[in-house]
Structures are given as C-alpha cells and as structure tokens.
Amino acid sequence: MRLLITVPDQSEATGNLVTARRLQAGLAEFGLFSELALLPDVDPLPAYRQACKTLCPDAVLLLHAWRTGRAWLRSRDELPLPAAVLLTGTDIHGGLDDSEQGPVIRAVLESADLLLTQNHLTAANLIATWGNKVHHLPPAVQLGTTPYLLREQHQIPADAILFLHPAGIRPIKANFDLLWLCDPLAARHKEFRLAFCGPVLDPVYGAAFLAAVTQRPWASWLGVIPSGAMPAALAAADVVLNHSRSEGLPGALLEALAVGRAILAHDIPGNAAIIDAGGNGLLYSDSSEFLRQAEGLINDPEQRQRLATAPRPDLSPKTEAATLAALLRTLHS
C-alpha cells in the first residue's frame, strides 16, 4: 500500500511535521510505504496534484482538514483517492466556526473515509455527529536524543526556578497573555524565570511579543529549539507551561510527561485529555487560579517533584503506528 501524507508547509519545529515524520517511520515498520507532501497555504492544489502524480498513492492521510484537506476535496473527480483525516486543534476549535474554513472542513469530514483524532475527549464528541468512521488514534512521542544545555546556553542561573512555555509565537498560543500574567510572579520571586521557545508564526504579533520580552529581565525567548533537542530542553525546566486558547493534543506536553517534568496547563480539552489534575500535572481555568498554582510550584519543590514523577501514560510510537496501519488498510482492502 502506497500512502501520501499531506502536511502544511511550515516551520520544521511545528507539531504537524514532527507528527507526520513519526507516523511515516512507524508505518514503515508495518509495511506501509509513505511519502510526505508539504502543501502551501495559499494554493495547496498544484503541490497536491504533483505529489499524487509522483507517488501514485493508494490512499491519502490528511494532516489538517482545512490546510491540506481542501486540496483533496477539490481534486476528488480527477484523483478519487480514499482519505483519512487526522484532525488538529485548529480544525475543531475555531476552524469549524470560521465563515471561510467551516464549510470546507465540514465537507472534508463528511467526504473522508476515516476521521482520526489523538484526543479521546474529541473522539467521543465527534462520534455523536460522524458515527463509526471516527477513531481514536493513541498518542505517541518519539523522544530525540540531541544534547541541549538550555540554562548554560541562555545564561539562566542553575538555581533559578524556570518555567518553560514551548509553543509557536501566535495569538492562539496566548504567549503575550502569559507574559503579562507572570509579571506579579517575577515581582515577588527573584528566582523566577520564564522562557519561551518556538517559531514566530505571526510576524506582527511576534514583533510586539518579542519587544515586550526584552523589557523584562526575568523573561526570554530562546528561539526555535530543534525537535531532536526538545527532550533535553524540557528536562532543564522546573515547570512546563501550556497557556493556549485551544489545542488538539499538545505534543510538547506529551514530551514533558515522557521526560518527567511538572506541568501547569490551561484547562482546555486538548490539555485536559492528557493531564490528570493533581496527578501528573495541574490545570487552571483563569488568571487567579494560574497565579495560585504557579506560586505553589515556586514555593514547593516537593510538589514539583511529585508531579514530575507521577505515572506516565503509554506513549509508544509502535502502538500508535500499529493502530494507524490497521485503520489505513481498511481503505485499500
């Protein structure tokens, strides 16, 4: 079986591309040959057609119903390929309600043969509308082994209590809001440090955000950390944050669980699906709850250690690939 995996053409550090490469490697172990096609946002159809011409695939796996699914949707008459869609957070949270994206996403969901999500809460909700073509794909992480001396490289003192926010710089990740939210923590705790890492995906938002970071000596932007070095970077932090307004299933938090870090995350479905509040992490719903939880983590190293050493979920790429391979073979039976 030849599979085409379509991915939005964006930074190497984004979750979509990391996921696609992990799936490609995992599927190969189960005898499924696949190629990646990076599709541009402006007009993905020509790149999609060329990839289909080159590979002659038996089926297509669409990462992102809007950003790559619309090319498949527009070409079904000339390229009638069965398709599975691996839904992202922006497909479900925001995209469906958007006047431009919503009708296209719904058409892709209705026409696709399989709808996949790695968030079990999202799967349960989607089944009510789309029935038995919805499947939960177990999440996984493939931890890189590249060394990364985060504190030494970015002049962060060894005794500082480091909160790390790994996310692209764009409004949906609420990086700017988090920076403002931490002002009172920095005023009360001289040992507090806040670091951001990830690509600038919105230039206007990013410019304003980076200017604000430079005004705060306790905050820093570390730039883009290569995916292979992310486990080492996460391990250097005391607390890993997620302040997003919406998520599908954040890979950075899965990696934080895998390497054993305390997590403090916004209480949204994408985060709540993997955080057992009070067990392997903490969730907050508003600014006052964030500040209370963050204060507790700064003041209580034993709590940080307890969260960091909580039982970890099965995040095996082999389990993920085995499930996906079995589902994809139903498209070519």
Q: Which domains does the chain have, with CATH numbers?
A: 2-140+316-332 (3.40.50.2000), 150-308 (3.40.50.2000)
Q: pLDDT tens, 305-331?
A: 999 999 988 899 999 999 999 999 999
Mean pLDDT of 197-223: 97
pLDDT at 12 over 70: no
* Residue 93 pLDDT: 78
b/e map of 209-221 (b: 16 or more CB within 10 Å)? beeebeeeebbbb
Q: What is the mean pLDDT of residues 259-280?
A: 92
**DSSP for 161-180, written as a single string:** EEEEEES-BSGGGTHHHHHH
Q: Which pTM does this prediction carry?
A: 0.88
Residue 19: strand pairing partners: none
Vertex 127: Cα angle to 89 and 125 (nearest 5): 50
Mean pLDDT value across residues 138-163 = 96
Give the model's confidence band at 13: pLDDT under 50 very low, under 70 low, under 90 confident, else very high.
low
For 281, which DSSP code? Answer: B
Q: What is the mean pLDDT of residues 209-234?
A: 96
Residue 333 confidence (pLDDT) above 80: no
Query: Parallel, antiparallel, or unpaired for β 219-221 and 282-284?
Result: unpaired
Alpha-carbon gap, residue 102 to 105, rounded angstroms: 5
The mean pLDDT value of the chain amounts to 94
Residue 147 φ/ψ region, left for φ over 0, alpha for ψ in the -120 to 50 degree band, beta for the rest: beta
Q: Which residues of 27-56 are buried (b: 16+ CB within 10 A; e: fewer)?
A: beeeebebebbbbeeeebeebbbebbeebe
Residue 199 in this model has a pLDDT that exceeds 70 = yes
CA atoms within 13 A on the CB side of 325: 19
User: For the chain, first and last CA: distance in Å?
Assistant: 10
* Single-letter code of the amino acid located at 74: R
